Amino acid sequence: MSEELRKIILEKGGKIAGKCFQCGECGSVCSIGYVKKDFSPRKIIYQLILDDKSILESDMLWWCTACYSCSEICPMDLDPEGIFIVARNHASSLGYKVPARIRSMIDSILKEGMLLPVIGRAAKARESMKLGSLKKADTSDIRKITDLERFIK
Ligand code: SF4
Ligand code: SF4
C-alpha cells in the first residue's frame, strides 16, 4: 500500500489493510460478488496492499454498494468498505476518472436532489397515477456541505 494512502486511511480513523490475511470471508458475504463474479473485496484489499495502481483506475473500485457486510464479518476487525471509500476518494484526487454511471448519479443529486432522475418509465408511471411532476429540490445546501462537484469535473 502506498504510504500516502496508508496515511489517509489512518487519518480517517480506519484500520490498515495490511492486517488482512486474505481469508476471503468478506467475499463470502458480498452481494456484488454474488452477481459479478469478477468482484472480490479480498482481491481489492490485496491490490491496495501491493500498491497496484490498476485498482485505482478500475471501475471495480466503484461497484461496491456499501452494504458493510464485509466489515461486519471480517475476523481481523478491518473495515474493507471504509478502506474502499478512502481509496475511491484517493483515486479521484489523483485524477483517475470516476465511472460515468457514478458521475451521472452525482450530477442528478446536484441538479435534482435525487440519486436518479424521474424519467422514462418512472415518469410515465407517475403520470398514469396522476401524481404530477416532482418539485425541483433546492440543492444549494448539498453543495455547501459536500464536495461532490469535484467528482464530476
Ligand atoms: S475478511 Fe478481512 S482478513 Fe479476510 S480477506 Fe477480507 S479483509 Fe482480509
Ligand atoms: S460493502 Fe461492498 S465490498 Fe463489502 S460486502 Fe458490501 S458490496 Fe461487498
For residue 88, the ligand closest to its alpha carbon is 2
Q: What percent of the chain has pLDDT over 90?
A: 29
Q: What CATH code would you report for 3-93? A: 1.10.1060.10
Residue 74 has pLDDT above 80, yes or no: yes
Measured by CA distance, the residue closest to atom 3 of ligand 1 is 20
Helices (H), 29-136: 31-35, 41-49, 69-73, 80-93, 100-112, 120-128
- Which whole number is the average pLDDT over 54-77? 92
Kindly state the cell numbers that stand for 100. Answer: 460515468
Residue 152 has pLDDT above 80, yes or no: no
In ligand 1, the atom with minimum distance to the C-alpha of 17 is 7
- Which whole number is the average pLDDT over 63-76? 92
Q: Tally helices (H) and strands (E) across the chain.
A: 9, 0
Residue 111 has pLDDT above 80, yes or no: yes
Residue 50 has pLDDT above 80, yes or no: yes
Report the mean per-residue pLDDT for the chain: 86
Sequence ranges of the domains in the chain: 3-93, 100-152
